[in-house]
Amino acid sequence: VNAKRITACIIVLVAAIGFWSVNGQQGPPEENMGRTADVLTGIDLGSEIDGMDGRRLRMQRITTEPGGKTTLHSHKDRPFVMHVLQG
C-alpha cells in the first residue's frame, strides 16, 4: 500500500468524523416541552430587606418528564438554588 493511498484514506476518515459531529449538533429548544412549574410559596423581599422593593423570593417545584426540554434562558438578576430530587 502506497503512502498516497494511506494519506487519502486518513483525509477522508477525518472529514467524515468532522461532518458527523457537526451534523449531530442541535440548537437549543424553542419552547419548553414535558415540563411543569408550580409556585409553592413566595415572599416580598422589599418588606424584609432595604433596597429590595419589587423583588420576590419564590419556591417552585419544577417537574421535567423524561425527554423534556427547557428553553435557553437567563437568570440575570434572578438568582436561584436548585435541589434535584430524582433523575
Per-residue pLDDT of the chain (87 residues; tens, 9 = 90+): 688 888 888 888 888 777 666 555 678 888 999 999 999 999 998 998 999 898 888 899 999 999 999 999 888 878 788 888 887
Cα–Cα distance, 54 to 45 (Å, whole number): 7
pLDDT (0 to 100) of residue 17 = 76
Cα–Cα distance, 60 to 41 (Å, whole number): 7
Residue 38, strand partner residues: 61
Neighbours of 78 (CB within 10 A): 10
Closest to 60 (Cα-Cα) out of 77, 33, 76, 83: 83
